Amino acid sequence: MLLMPKRVKYRKPQTNPRIKGVSKGCTELHWGDYGIKALEPKWITARQIEACRITIIRYLKKKGKMWIRIFPDKAITKHPAETRMGKGKGDPDHWVAVVKPGRIMFEIEGIDDQTAEEIFHRVSAKLPIKTKLVKRDQI
C-alpha cells in the first residue's frame, strides 16, 4: 500500500532540492500523546513513510492509535538507465513528502512511555533525518 495522490494538477512538478526555513504548520501534537518530530529538512519518500507505518503498527498491536501527518504529493522524475542526454524531462519515478525542521510526522496514542521510546528508536532508524520524540506534556 504505497502512498501516492489520486490525481495531481501537474504530472511533472518543478523540483528544487534546496529546502529552506522551518515548518509553518503541523509543529504541535493534535491527536496523539506522542509524536515524532523532524529536526532536519529532507525529502521523505513514500517507501520510507510506509516502512515507518508498518513498524509503528507492529508495535502498537491493536492497543493504540496512529496518525500519519505527512503525505508524498511531489513527483520526482527520472530518465531510464543508459539513456542519452536531452529528449525532455523524464517520467515520474517516485513520490516524496517535503519535510522541514519542526514538522510532526507521526502521532501515537494509547501506549506507555517505554513502548513509545521503543517505537521511536525503530522508526528513526527507517528515516534519513534526525528526529525527536515529543510528548504531550512537553509542548
Number of helices (H) and strands (E) in the chain: give both, helices first. 2, 7
Among 66, 35, 49, 58, residue whose Cα is nearest residue 128: 49
User: With contact defined as beta carbons under 8 Å apart, do 59 and 37 qualify?
Assistant: no
pLDDT score of 41: 95
Task: Please report whether residue 19 resides in a domain.
Answer: no
Examine residue 82 and state whether it is found in any structural domain, yes or no: no
Does residue 43 carry a pLDDT above 90?
A: yes
Closest CA to 106 of 63, 138, 67, 133: 67
How many residues are given for the chain? 139
- Report the number of distinct structural domains present in the chain: 1
20 domain-assigned: no
- Please indicate, yes or no, if residue 61 is contained in any of the structural domains: yes
DSSP letter string over 9-33? S-SS--------S--SS--S-SS-S
Whether the Cβ atoms of residue 76 and residue 48 lie closer than 8 Å to each other: no
pLDDT at 1 (0 to 100): 60
DSSP string over 64-76? SEEEE-----EEE
- Is pLDDT of 138 > 70? no
Show the domain range for 124.
34-75+91-135
In a domain, residue 95? The reply is yes
- pLDDT tens for residues 2-33? 677 888 888 898 878 888 999 998 889 999 99
CA-based nearest residue to 33, from 124, 104, 103, 121: 104
Residue 10 lies in a domain: no
Asked if the structure places residue 13 within a domain, the reply is no
- pLDDT confidence of residue 16: 82
> How far is C-alpha 49 from the chain's CA centre?
5
Q: Report how far residue 8's alpha carbon sits from residue 75's, in angstroms, rounded to the nearest whole number.
A: 9
pLDDT surpasses 80 at 34: yes
For residue 39, the Cα-to-chain-centroid distance in whole angstroms is 12
Q: What is the CATH number of the domain that holds 103?
A: 3.90.1170.10
pLDDT at 84: 92
Query: Is pLDDT of 55 > 60?
Result: yes
In this predicted structure, what is the pLDDT of residue 62? Answer: 82
pLDDT digits 0-9 by tens, 92-135: 999 999 999 999 999 999 998 999 999 999 999 999 999 999 99
Give the residue carrying C-alpha cell 515507518.
52
pTM: 0.89
